[in-house]
């Protein structure tokens, strides 16, 4: 009997430990209420613009973009013969690796990735003078590197028939790049996004194969190139005039 009573007492004590934990036990600590983040309203559905509104919007973008680039062009009073090098180098761009046939090594997305970087470098350098606040500097650069701006630049080159057949082939190659930037593609539309990607592909391709031709195209589009001196700019303008005169003479024949 005594043994049974002790066994029942032990069971009771064990049960008290199981069912009545001490206040220091983590189980009795009050759990913090979960904070539910406020629900964000869904974005408004994209509205399709009529052809008239689309053309009007494009004209406004072209005018603003042209004024933005021209605002940073500067004249210089430096006279005399200009240096053929930029700070002792043949070009101000980083030296590209020697790749004879980029299309046999890289896909279009890789060249567009490289071209995006090179193009933004042109944009940042273009707005470096006159000195601006970092916010205004970044705002101007961001306006130029957007897909809409790249689409306008490519349209200018195509409308003026400035690109060679090889360069047009690169555009066709880079037009159907599969990208994960779905938000940007939805914002600007598939057509604009694809044309901007093809333009970046062309910039990356020329950077690897023909930097001189890349400089000519970027100057044609309104960017400062070379050493950004007025003498170098005038030399490029003369070359463009010579090419235009030669093309007109061939066409007249």
The radius of gyration of the chain from alpha carbons, rounded to an integer in Å, stands at: 32
Task: Please compute, for residue 51, the number of CA atoms within 13 A of its CA located in the half-sphere on the CB side.
Answer: 0
Q: Which of 18, 64, 116, 151 is catalytic?
A: 116
User: Residue 89 phi/psi, 5° resolution?
Assistant: -110, 155
Q: Residue 212 is encoded by which pair of tokens?
A: 């001189």
Known active-site residue 83: no
- Mapped onto helix, strand or coil, the DSSP state of residue 155 is helix
- At 22 the three-state DSSP class reads coil
Helices first, then strands: H and E counts in the chain: 10, 0
DSSP 8-class letter at 43: P
Burial (CB count <10 Å: 0-12, 13-18, 19+), residue 203: buried
Catalytic residues, which ones?
116
């Amino acid at each position: 009997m005594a043994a049974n009573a002790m066994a029942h007492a032990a069971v009771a004590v064990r049960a008290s430990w199981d069912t009545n934990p001490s206040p220091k036990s983590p189980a009795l600590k009050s759990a913090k209420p979960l904070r539910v983040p406020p629900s964000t309203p869904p974005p408004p559905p994209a509205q399709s613009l009529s052809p008239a509104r689309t053309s009007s919007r494009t004209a406004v973008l072209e005018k603003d973009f042209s004024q933005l680039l021209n605002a940073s062009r500067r004249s210089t009073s430096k006279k005399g013969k200009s240096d053929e090098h930029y700070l002792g180098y043949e070009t101000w761009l980083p030296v590209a690796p020697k790749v004879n046939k980029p299309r046999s090594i890289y896909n279009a997305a890789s060249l567009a990735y490289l071209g995006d970087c090179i193009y933004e470098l042109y944009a940042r350098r273009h707005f470096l003078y006159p000195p601006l606040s970092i916010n205004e500097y970044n705002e101007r650069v961001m306006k130029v590197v957007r897909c809409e701006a790249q689409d306008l630049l490519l349209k200018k080159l195509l409308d003026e028939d400035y690109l060679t057949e090889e360069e047009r082939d690169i555009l066709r190659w880079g037009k159907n790049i599969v990208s994960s930037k779905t938000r940007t593609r939805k914002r600007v539309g598939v057509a604009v996004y694809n044309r901007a990607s093809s333009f970046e592909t062309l910039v990356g391709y020329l950077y690897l194969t023909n930097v001189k031709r890349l400089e000519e195209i970027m100057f044609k589009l309104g960017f400062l190139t070379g050493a950004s001196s007025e003498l170098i700019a005038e030399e490029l303008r003369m070359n463009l005039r010579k090419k235009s005169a030669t093309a007109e003479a061939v066409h007249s024949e």
